[in-house]
Structure 1
């Protein structure tokens, strides 16, 4: 993402169900930033059995320093969950709804992740009737939340 014309990097930890666990914004995309992100994510969510990453070398270097390089999996289409989690940010960037400060991007990423995790219905897993019921319930929750917050 670009903030005031300078490149910043969004790191995201996504579990096997597609739920966003952690999001982190850094100015660099190197071993130090990867190590900080991994340590932070592991501290909050525990050690993972498998780390699925793309082929960027900083991931391997950071996992090697932690001692979990044997848990890293890289391969075609394995990283799809994390890539799909980036789509709202890419859409926002393309629409020129730029972020002015790194702190506001971090806040947006955290809020977006929690809202997405709550309202994502995973409709491919349910029958149509159950999906409609769950969607209606989450809509009622959202309307109640927005009514309370607007007062």
Structure 2
């Protein structure tokens, strides 16, 4: 009987834990930081890595994490199909001219 194989982990050849790699990549993506700024912030937290390691991890795992975020976003949006949207509309005078103003409220 053939054994079923688990999919190979993308982190298998790295000495750092997947949590640290995820922290590094998401820190670079989430905040407007350079590779060296991420290196400095992590050094203050006791994680000693090089800015080139940040670049390597970003290139390697950035698309992987982006795909996970997209899948989670799509799965969360499925429950919002039954929402009802209301449109609030009115005319206002702006610089002496009547302008149509509307706003969508969920």
**TM class by shorter-chain length?**
0.3 to 0.5
Looking at secondary structure, tell me which structure has more helix per residue: 1
- Larger RCO of the pair (alpha carbons < 8 Å, separation 6+): 1
TM, length-normalised to structure 1: 0.25
TM-score (norm 2): 0.32
Larger Rg: 2
